[in-house]
Amino acid sequence: MVEWSAVAGIAAVALGLVLTPGPNMIYLVSRSVTQGRRAGLISLLGVAAGFFLYLAAVTAGLAAVFVAVPAAYTALKLAGAAYLLHLAWQAVRPGGVNAFAPRDLPVDGSRRLFVMGLVTNLLNPKIAVLYVSLLPQFVDPERGSVALQSLTLGLVQIAIALTVNAVIVVFAGALSRFLAARPAWLRVQRYVMGGVLGALAVKLAVEPRPATAG
């Protein structure tokens, strides 16, 4: 059984990551602005497929790695904290990424839109670190099946990521125009997300691991 604190923790991480500009957001915004909402939503289906592939891999095998090599837990924990700090810096540094300044993309068919969404997500280092390093921190082996806990927490992350990305896709054009005319709003978003990610990184780094993990 997953603790509510773990659900809240992974929800906070998921929300912080999905609102921080990265490959998925930049691709979905660019696709939606240049080719329309339908193209953005088809691309989002590919992104969703990538999430489920990551979740299946983590649920199937990561727990065994932690049992066999307890030091791997600590290494992944510190790597995850370091990556969150990196994302926090990317958000607040001068000249940080603005995902709502879309790139020009060629018009593609539905199959290619889906595949590009899938590949963009699978090759997204932010998502790889989330599933390999961050999500396992909220799993407590003392509370039952590690695989079931991983599955539950992963589904929470996927629900949040897909909901937020769907809203971004639907309103990408309007958001792009709105934020282009109000750069101060972008700065506020960047600093808030940078603060959230920085706080999560510190919490992750100092939090002790479950006793049975090592």
The pLDDT of residue 118 is above 70: yes
Tell me whether residue 203 is in a domain.
yes
Tell me whether residue 214 is in a domain.
no
The pLDDT of residue 7 is above 70: yes
The pLDDT of residue 213 is above 80: no
When pLDDT is averaged across residues 30-43 and rounded to a whole number, the result is 87
pLDDT at 175: 72
Tell me whether residue 213 is in a domain.
no
Q: Give the domain range for residue 144.
A: 4-208
Tally of domains in the chain: 1
When pLDDT is averaged across residues 40-69 and rounded to a whole number, the result is 82
Tell me whether residue 69 is in a domain.
yes
Buried-state track 16-36, b at ≥16 Cβ within 10 A, e below 16? bbbbbbbbbbbbbbbbbbbbe
**Higher-pLDDT residue of 105, 19:** 19
**130-150 pLDDT tens trace:** 887 778 878 887 787 888 888
pLDDT at 211: 44
